[in-house]
Structure 1
Amino acid sequence: MTPADRSGLEAALHAEVDGEVRFDAGSRGAYATDGSNYRQLPIGVVVPRTVEAGARAVSVCARHDAPVLSRGGGTSLAGQSTNTAVVVDWSKYCTGVLSVDPERRTCVVEPGIVLDELNRRLARHKLQFGPRPSTHSHCALGGMIGNNSCGASAQAYGKTVDNVRRLEILTYDGQRAWVGPTPPDERERIISGGGRLAEIYAGLDRIATEYLADIRRGYPKIPRRVSGYNLDSLLPENGFDVAKALVGSEGTLVTVLRAELDLVPVPAYRSLLVLGYDDICAAGDDVPRLLEHCEPTQLEALDGRMAQLMREEGAYLDSLAVLPEGDSWLMVQYSGDSQEDVDEQAHALLRALGRDERDRDVAFSDDPGREQKMLRAREAGLGVTARPPDDRETWEGWEDSAVPPERLGEYLRDLKGLFAEFDYGRPSLYGHFGQGCVHTRIPFGLRTAEGVAVFRRFLERAADLVASYGGSLSGEHGDGQARGELLTRMFGERLVTAFGELKALFDPGNRMNPGKIVHPNPVDGQLRLGPAWRPATPATHFGFPDDDRSFGRSVMRCVGIGNCRGHTGGVMCPSYRATMEEEHSTRGRARLLFEMLGGHPDSAVQDGWRSTAVHDALDLCLACKGCKSDCPTGVDMATLKAEFLSHHYARRKRPMAHYSMGWLPLWARLSRTAPRLVNTALHAPGLAGLGKRLAGVDAAREAPVFAEESFVQWWRARDRPAPDPADPRTVVLWPDTFSTYFHPAIARSAVRVLQDAGFRVAVPTEPVCCGLTWISTGQLATAKKVLHRTLGVLRPYLEAGTPVIGLEPSCTAVFRADAPELMPDDQDVQRLAGQVRTFAEHLVHHAPDDWRPPRLARQATVQTHCHQHAVMKFDADRELMRRAHLDAEVLDEGCCGLAGNFGFERGHHEVSLAVGELGVLPAVRAAAPDSLVIADGFSCRTQIEQGSTGRRALHLAEALAFALDGNLPSDRPERLAVRPAEPSRTAGWATAASVAALAAGTAAVVGGLRRPGR
């Protein structure tokens, strides 16, 4: 489109569509690709508030002859969710369940609803939608219909096409109708009525009649045929089902506005049988024999290569631990109405196979928790294989072929032979073996002309191979651009011609997701990388040691899986959960950073580190680090954000919050001169508001109160000799800013408990800091200086190997993760990373055998700090609480929303509280009045206390210290400093002077950071 055409389209959409219309660079960049190898920059993005608004958007696009792409979760692996078109994103607002009929087991939904959310709403009826892809936490029903999604449960419930009853559709030229099974008399009535709908039905009737024999002969008779249009649904024996014919058409024919779905009962009981094999081909050989003797709910497979990758990456080790002996495994799940029934099904299969539950290569479980551990290893396939530690990047392209299950072992051997012929090494092979569907990721060379040419030759050979087995190019992910060009090798010319006629019937102008399935773009065209891709390779502060010291490679950890778009559980991505915006997901931000690196002439981001679009997307990143652990490929957006901010503000004035909160450790030390006056200034009417404005703090936030006596001041007053660093009983208690200056009772409590456990505590009394606040605000050069100074103070302890005990999770995480990445060549940093421990880790793993923690015997609601979840994990804390007889409910409600400086910064308060209200704050309000609320993180405690919960949270060290003293804590422990009373006039003048001095000091620091001439 010309700029004038684009401008006119944008204006019309703004004027006529009830929705969010975005043609800006940031939005277009965030939607430029999906989970595939392909990239096409959209014309613009429309987020309709209603289904009717979405239909109106299509109408406006038709009037302006603009292509349209409907998008749900955007996780497609074949390129069907990326196009130079107007993207209609249904997933933010069009998420309704319009009706549920429990008797008929049906429901009507809007296209944007996520599968897990639909099943949550159906749970009270004990019903569910049967197909369950591995993206179930974030895939939208509209996308499932577009791709004909399957998943592991398809063994029992079939593909999406088997569970769709009717669809409300809209053609590009405006015809709207409900479609479904259409008997001959109904077709005759529609055709006789004339008009566009009659034209469509007459055309469908003609295609079904003309190509009847070709359809019956040319469609593979296998359970996992997803490739091609579903012309077989138009056969007389299949009821001339127009809805099913449109399922899997990837938005190339119609827009789906609503869907009536068939539902199935939620199984009451399940069991899981895991069988070990010498290799994956032997497992494939055994599939037909298993299917002869059982009808499982799932029959999944994973191979030894995937298990090896998990071990190398340190991922899903608990899942591997419960697998039986073998180098490959088949997982057979049963479901039924009683535990006896499902157990007997498993044992009957074992008897038929001549195996026994006690065999070393057999594992049986009817425990749901253990089953989930086993199945998690299989569900993790894409994430685990995407970034293997051997540095061979793996890609989609031939990731879901399918063959008749009875020929599976033979096909696997030929496929492995093809890998060897093309020197692709040993890609992992796994998948839905009960239906002959094989998943893999292959190290295609997509950065050079030679590599791309080999990629193309491999796909052609692989397509011929699977066709020779009577199989399907795609058994789950669809054709899109990855396989559209190869369809003649599977279906032949006549059926592909029929596909073209179906496309022309519904979309004669080729405006619906053009270039996919029919008249497809080449499999090696529009690549996200490709031989012409020339990204920037900027120098960085962080070393990115796990990514070949490359910022770009770190950005490219994101392969589009989309777990960051999940709605519940885990930590990532809190800003997406609050906003439901693609650009505020980890994936959306990674896409924009990819665009920022350039490499393509049409890159959405043309101004590099200075980009406003990238800054705006990162602005709502809480730097919670949830993605570092919860993203299957380990994207660390907190680190990427810090790196970006360091360059974005280089030699420029920063936001005042970067000076006030970014330099918080310095201001905290300065507060020692007059803590009461500082507290008065922070809370006095008028002065507090002025101070917040000067500091860039949101007016709605209440400033934390400085302790009158800091922990270090208390420690110095004890005047005890420092213990010998070489003494094995010596530990360094790290005096972080938050436990020292705001909540010193925590550090004092930790001393009490550590000494009770027999340790000799040392505390650095010189100014030290981990540099967290400078890192989170992107002041990385300063952070390095701070860390260098700290290492100098700690050097005697580092040389002696003395453990360093962290109380504040975010500071401990800096030493474990951020500092080694920021200073990867500094041996003292590496030593510190190995010596730092959490409070619980030290007591659980290193306390004397005869020490027992005090008995608390209380219930507790526990919030895990995001950085602890991501970096240190929480296993030791759970164990310490168990030993202390603390009945702990550890919340799985995501981030608290405050996240260090984020929740205090002006403009973030609303999002911060919205994140908290998604789970943590309601959970704390719901906690029993006599239970404890435990949160080791300063941010978590502050959010809980300022979030209208009526509760104050304790650090675990405080709870244990209370118990040691026989004084179990109450709901409102007297720990926090008391807010000063209303100041006198004299105090007011002194306070004003303090504020002025602080402001002057800030200005001096700001001025000192500027270079001459700026």
Structure 2
Amino acid sequence: MSTEFISRSLQSISGDVLSEIWQRCMYASDASAYEIVPKCVVLPKNVEDVIKVVKFASTNGIPVIARGGGSGLAGQAIGDGIIIDFTKYMHHIIEIDIKENYVMVEPGIYKGVLDKELKKYSRFLPPDPSSANYCAVGGMIATNASGAHTVKYGSTIDYVQSLDVILSNGELMHVEPVEIGSYEWKKKAGSLEGKLLETLLNLLLPNEELIRNRFPRVRKNSCGYRLDRVLGNNVLDMSKLFVASEGTLGIVVRAKFKIMDLPKEKVLTLLGFDNTLEASKSIIKIAELKPSALELIDKTVIQLARTSSEEFASKVPIDTNCLLFVEFDGNSRDEVENGINRLRSVLEQIHAKTIASSFDGSEMARIWEIRKNALSYTMKIRENAKKPIAFMEDPVVPVDKLDFLVETLQRVYNKHGLKYVVYGHAGDGNLHTRPLFDVSKSEEIKIMREVAEDLLNAVTSVNGSVSAEHGDGLARSGFIRDVYGNEIYQLFVKVKELFDPINIMNPNKKVMMQGTFLQNFRYGFKSKDFENKLNWQINDSRLQSKITGYRKELSFDDEVDLCHGCGGCRELNFGWRMCPVYKGLNDEVASCRGRNNVLRWLLKVDGLAKEFALTKEYKDIIYKYCVQCKMCLIDCPSNVNVGKSMAEARAVYAKQMGLPKGYEYFINIDKYAMQGCKLVPFSNFLMNNKLFRKLLESRTGIDARKKFPRFSKRIFDDLFREHKQPKFHKTVAFFCDTYIRYVDPMLGMHIIKILERNGYNVIFPSQMSSGLPALLEGAPDVGREIAEYNVKNLYVHASKGIPIVCFSPSSSVALKMDYLNVLDNEETRTVSSNTYDMHEFLSNLHKMKELDADFKEIDEEIGVHFHCHTIVQGADKHVKQLLNMIPKLRYHIVETGCCGVGGSYSFIKDNYDLSMQIGRELFEAVKQERKVYTTGESCKLQIEEGSGRELGLTVDLLAKAYGIS
């Protein structure tokens, strides 16, 4: 069945049908190691759309694959058929009932979004996978998701009360517990539901003892079908059958969950151990204390986490080889203190050291992020072509056999000389493990098969399961028969045939699998010949190395291949800034993962045709859907530098097709800004004249609605020349950039006076604007000329150890990191190493006890917003440190995401509406504040335009505190 026929046939639905090859390639992979291009992708708007799609698929024998966030690790959400992505439109909360304690939702809602809403009512849905902020509840149902708190609260299956599902014939059915022989049971007789109930009963009742004896003796399980939870106490509950079924029996379109009261108190303790085996032996003793969470990370994860969190690195001793996260929760402080006291009483018996304990909610949240990011830290591991591969990564055993599981992993991996990582839910007997393999080598594929068989035999020998919470998918469906034995497996087959007789519902998963888990790997693709326009594999980029933990950058191909598809860039909860464009559009193509996948397929020899890189669709992907915030580099736990990949793609595109309309004016900003200053006041009149702006828009592509800052009659150079400086023994060089030079030179003079107040002579080397638009928007040759000019003039001072101080966060990022992308030499590296954000420089002075901290009182309550590039270079902590020193100043962080300005991005006509949409939640938050200060000039302008409120700059606060006006 052709994609064209499927697409034409589905045009009557109200949702979206994606049939272009580049769109389908984005959905060919998820967070697993696998890749299969679908025939079509549907984004339904309602239940009726799903019914139409399934009926069409049923008539034509086309597979249907339901998909949530695409964060699954076993390949459940990919396949050769029609993928139905629920996250675009079907993501609503239908009802919250706090009297009856339930919530009813559509399948596409992210767990993190649901958590945020339930918290308003002091309620929560306990299952909490590490991917909660970017996994959909439909996927949680499909895999019986669990999480850190399952040790106390149980898995998804324990909270499902009823489901609305669409069966393989397109019929909608409501499933919930029904008492056998009751009036409700009899009322359903004759209907499809009644027939299914009767058939299931006749299938399960004679096999109750077999099911009881053959199912794994574990705390959680997502292997096979959960027949052990369907029948009991004279009740048949079909809703439990669909949990962990991975969409192979039907598609969930509505779910009702039991919810619980949020615990009022928590305490989290970190316990250190000499090795993982020692830690595993302590689990039984700790589990007896009834903790609410009991998690483990090994030495490798600890080391990787150190590069991402200075706080974590400072807490955990360097010789710690294994950590347990032990949490107690309850409704009173006494209750949780009792738990921690009982834990302390057994520390000597279990040979553990207390690393840290905390009752503070924000501190606990930061510590938990380390555990939640264990997988992503693992995916950062770089060892030539070897990658951490998920195939038997989710084993679970009875808790008293956890030490056996650890010993088995060590024995099996050491037998083959494999490096590996271990972390997971120790309190449940569930560990996640990933050995490193190069899947392009046949000899390593053979070892994978042997490892899988060894682990399978070991886990089943102690009544364990190979799939605790990640499901079976392509990775483990082939092992289900081995876990349960043939009799139970045949029951699974009969259930599948009962609900999906034509085998269209996510086929090749769970039962009747064709092929093996060693097929359809996506890693290690062969690349087309490609001439890079930017420098890659840069050594010793100070900022990049600090962020990633690696001295050497990857090649372009490897950077693109680094994305493992976790979907963290699709987070909507503003826990991360990444990815602001996705937050604005809620489209896969707007996510870092989506755009990265398009690039990966374009680079592949057998991927997208080269001609696609000349299309308008491709131009939008690389220009419209990236604001160059760089937050992917730090928020993506694998530190995939999608922004740089987009800059590379733009450079290649512009070389062939020319720069898109509007960008050239910002690439040559010095030229046009200087003209604007020379023509004041006429230039300011024109730039605020609606008729002129419309004419300008048609000619230049700069949106007529975008407010321009007013040009200054006198530029910063003029004021600096006239300024009489006192003489000091220390010297600093000032890099002013565009805004101070042409718009607000007095701000620059305030900075000069702040630096002088701290005993520095300030020099102002000859300089151009930073050139960041050229470097990022597709003109690297122009960017290189600017970099050469600025580096030449700055190196003279940097080589003498003279610090270079920047006000604009973007200019300091450019000097620290982006210049190396076009000018990789020792001079650039010296300039990079000696460049500081203004706040960073002053904070460092304070650290060295050299800061003049004689600040005047500022008796105000304010909100503070951080420019994305402030966060990227880690200067946000320096801003907070300085503000904390100002007497009587009270502030809080306004964190509802990126403002959407993206430097030149928001000025371009094609981007303006989206830029305002990206910042909408921030604008609304600012409207509720009395006064807000931001760290960057571009954010100030954008937020003022979007909110209608006047903003200050954090440098203004410092000047005021110093009495500078």
- Letter aligned with residue 959 of structure 1: L
User: Which of 680, 700, 705 matches 2:705?
Assistant: 700
**Further displaced range: 143-152 or 209-218:** 209-218
> How many angstroms apart in 2 are the aligned matches of 1:165 and 1:694?
60
User: Which of 351, 362, 384 matches 1:369?
Assistant: 362
Identical columns (%): 26
Q: Which residue of 1 aligns with 2:963?
A: 965
User: Which of 313, 337, 343 matches 2:337?
Assistant: 343
Residue 47, structure 1, aligned to residue 43, structure 2: yes
How much has 1:702 moved relative to structure 2? 2.0
Q: Which residue of 2 aligns with 1:321?
A: 314
> How many angstroms apart in 1 are the aligned matches of 2:523 and 2:963?
66
User: Which of 155, 158, 164 matches 1:162?
Assistant: 158
User: Which of 398, 401, 412 matches 2:406?
Assistant: 412
Would the aligned equivalents of 1:51 and 1:110 in 2 still touch at CA under 8 Å?
A: no
Cα displacement string for residues 920-941 of structure 1 (whole angstroms, at most 9, x for unaligned residues): 212221112xx4x212212201
How much has 1:279 moved relative to structure 2? 0.6
- Check 1:658–1:593 CA distance in 2 against 1; reply closer, same or farther (3 A cut): same
Q: Which residue of 1 aligns with 2:774?
A: 774
Would the aligned equivalents of 1:350 and 1:356 in 2 still touch at CA under 8 Å?
A: no
How much has 1:535 moved relative to structure 2? 2.5
What are the ranges of 5 or more consecutive residues in structure 1 without an aligned counterpart?
A: 968-1014
- Check 1:57–1:192 CA distance in 2 against 1; reply closer, same or farther (3 A cut): closer
Which structure 2 residues correspond to residues 451-466 of structure 1 after superposition, within 5 A? 451-466=444-459
Residue 842, structure 1, aligned to residue 837, structure 2: no
Q: Secondary structure at the match of 1:428?
A: strand
Which structure 2 residues correspond to residues 604-619 of structure 1 after superposition, within 5 A? 604=608, 607=611, 609-610=613-614, 612-618=616-622, 619=624
Would the aligned equivalents of 1:171 and 1:506 in 2 still touch at CA under 8 Å?
A: yes
Q: Which residue of 1 aligns with 2:909?
A: 906
- Letter aligned with residue 530 of structure 2: P
> How many angstroms apart in 2 are the aligned matches of 1:958 and 1:362?
41
> How many angstroms apart in 2 are the aligned matches of 1:52 and 1:443?
45
User: Which of 360, 374, 380 matches 1:381?
Assistant: 374
- Letter aligned with residue 371 of structure 1: M
Q: Secondary structure at the match of 2:221?
A: coil
- Check 1:195–1:927 CA distance in 2 against 1; reply closer, same or farther (3 A cut): closer
> How many angstroms apart in 2 are the aligned matches of 1:115 and 1:500?
31
How much has 1:462 moved relative to structure 2? 1.8
Residue 626, structure 1, aligned to residue 631, structure 2: yes
Q: Secondary structure at the match of 1:120?
A: helix
Q: Secondary structure at the match of 1:151?
A: coil
User: Which of 45, 61, 68 matches 1:65?
Assistant: 61
Residue 586, structure 1, aligned to residue 592, structure 2: yes
Would the aligned equivalents of 2:74 and 2:476 in 1 still touch at CA under 8 Å?
A: yes
How much has 1:144 moved relative to structure 2? 0.5
- Check 1:717–1:178 CA distance in 2 against 1; reply closer, same or farther (3 A cut): same
User: Which of 527, 535, 548 matches 1:535?
Assistant: 527
Would the aligned equivalents of 1:25 and 1:613 in 2 still touch at CA under 8 Å?
A: no
Q: Which residue of 1 aligns with 2:10?
A: 13
Would the aligned equivalents of 1:156 and 1:298 in 2 still touch at CA under 8 Å?
A: yes
Would the aligned equivalents of 1:707 and 1:742 in 2 still touch at CA under 8 Å?
A: yes
Would the aligned equivalents of 1:448 and 1:530 in 2 still touch at CA under 8 Å?
A: no
- Letter aligned with residue 446 of structure 1: V
Q: Secondary structure at the match of 2:421?
A: coil
> How many angstroms apart in 1 are the aligned matches of 2:426 and 2:729?
54
Residue 505, structure 1, aligned to residue 509, structure 2: no
- Letter aligned with residue 940 of structure 1: C
> How many angstroms apart in 2 are the aligned matches of 1:379 and 1:194?
48
- Check 1:452–1:850 CA distance in 2 against 1; reply closer, same or farther (3 A cut): closer
Q: Secondary structure at the match of 2:254?
A: strand
User: Which of 914, 919, 936 matches 1:916?
Assistant: 919
Normalised by the length of structure 1, the TM-score is: 0.89
- Check 1:277–1:192 CA distance in 2 against 1; reply closer, same or farther (3 A cut): closer
How much has 1:221 moved relative to structure 2? 1.3
Q: Secondary structure at the match of 2:687?
A: helix
Q: Which residue of 1 aligns with 2:436?
A: 443
Residue 88, structure 1, aligned to residue 89, structure 2: no
> How many angstroms apart in 2 are the aligned matches of 1:768 and 1:944?
26
Would the aligned equivalents of 2:281 and 2:402 in 1 still touch at CA under 8 Å?
A: yes
Would the aligned equivalents of 2:167 and 2:173 in 1 still touch at CA under 8 Å?
A: no
Would the aligned equivalents of 1:481 and 1:522 in 2 still touch at CA under 8 Å?
A: no
Which structure 2 residues correspond to residues 785-864 of structure 1 after superposition, within 5 A? 785-824=785-824, 826-846=825-845, 849=850, 851-855=852-856, 856-864=858-866
> How many angstroms apart in 2 are the aligned matches of 1:460 and 1:822?
49
- Check 1:557–1:190 CA distance in 2 against 1; reply closer, same or farther (3 A cut): farther
> How many angstroms apart in 2 are the aligned matches of 1:374 and 1:752?
40
Which structure 2 residues correspond to residues 262-301 of structure 1 after superposition, within 5 A? 262-292=258-288, 294-301=289-296
Would the aligned equivalents of 1:577 and 1:915 in 2 still touch at CA under 8 Å?
A: yes
- Letter aligned with residue 730 of structure 2: R
Residue 303, structure 1, aligned to residue 298, structure 2: yes
How much has 1:158 moved relative to structure 2? 0.7
Would the aligned equivalents of 2:92 and 2:105 in 1 still touch at CA under 8 Å?
A: yes
Which structure 2 residues correspond to residues 141-180 of structure 1 after superposition, within 5 A? 141-180=137-176
Q: Which residue of 1 aligns with 2:542?
A: none
Cα displacement string for residues 511-566 of structure 1 (whole angstroms, at most 9, x for unaligned residues): 111111112243445424368x4223523113143675411111122111211111
Q: Which residue of 2 aligns with 1:752?
A: 753
Q: Secondary structure at the match of 1:791?
A: helix
- Check 1:501–1:268 CA distance in 2 against 1; reply closer, same or farther (3 A cut): same
Cα displacement string for residues 357-393 of structure 1 (whole angstroms, at most 9, x for unaligned residues): 9x95353322223322332221120111111255542
Cα displacement string for residues 580-636 of structure 1 (whole angstroms, at most 9, x for unaligned residues): 111101111111111111244xx3555364354443223221111111111111122
Q: Which residue of 1 aligns with 2:668?
A: 663
- Check 1:606–1:330 CA distance in 2 against 1; reply closer, same or farther (3 A cut): same
User: Which of 652, 665, 682 matches 1:677?
Assistant: 682
Q: Which residue of 1 aligns with 2:939?
A: 940
Q: Which residue of 2 aligns with 1:598?
A: 604
User: Which of 852, 855, 871 matches 1:869?
Assistant: 871
Would the aligned equivalents of 1:460 and 1:486 in 2 still touch at CA under 8 Å?
A: no
Normalised by the length of structure 2, the TM-score is: 0.94
> How many angstroms apart in 1 are the aligned matches of 2:915 and 2:800?
42
Q: Which residue of 2 aligns with 1:1001?
A: none
What are the ranges of 5 or more consecutive residues in structure 2 without an aligned counterpart?
A: 539-549
- Check 1:345–1:907 CA distance in 2 against 1; reply closer, same or farther (3 A cut): same
> How many angstroms apart in 2 are the aligned matches of 1:188 and 1:837?
72
- Check 1:349–1:799 CA distance in 2 against 1; reply closer, same or farther (3 A cut): closer
- Check 1:198–1:417 CA distance in 2 against 1; reply closer, same or farther (3 A cut): same
Q: Secondary structure at the match of 1:896?
A: coil
Would the aligned equivalents of 2:271 and 2:353 in 1 still touch at CA under 8 Å?
A: no
> How many angstroms apart in 1 are the aligned matches of 2:231 and 2:185?
19
Q: Secondary structure at the match of 1:429?
A: strand
How much has 1:223 moved relative to structure 2? 0.3
Q: Which residue of 2 aligns with 1:572?
A: 578
- Check 1:220–1:838 CA distance in 2 against 1; reply closer, same or farther (3 A cut): same
Aligned residues: 944
Cα displacement string for residues 136-181 of structure 1 (whole angstroms, at most 9, x for unaligned residues): 1121111110111001111121110111111111101023221122
User: Which of 558, 564, 577 matches 1:553?
Assistant: 558
> How many angstroms apart in 1 are the aligned matches of 2:184 and 2:140?
31
> How many angstroms apart in 1 are the aligned matches of 2:350 and 2:412?
36
Cα displacement string for residues 107-147 of structure 1 (whole angstroms, at most 9, x for unaligned residues): 22111111122222222332111101111112111111011
Residue 954, structure 1, aligned to residue 946, structure 2: no
- Letter aligned with residue 626 of structure 2: C
How much has 1:190 moved relative to structure 2? 5.5
- Letter aligned with residue 375 of structure 1: W
- Check 1:714–1:821 CA distance in 2 against 1; reply closer, same or farther (3 A cut): same
Q: Which residue of 1 aligns with 2:547?
A: none
User: Which of 20, 23, 27 matches 1:24?
Assistant: 20
- Letter aligned with residue 359 of structure 2: D
- Letter aligned with residue 729 of structure 1: K
> How many angstroms apart in 2 are the aligned matches of 1:474 and 1:604?
35
Cα displacement string for residues 927-959 of structure 1 (whole angstroms, at most 9, x for unaligned residues): 12xx4x2122122011122124231x2222222
Cα displacement string for residues 63-96 of structure 1 (whole angstroms, at most 9, x for unaligned residues): 3332111111110100001111211111122122
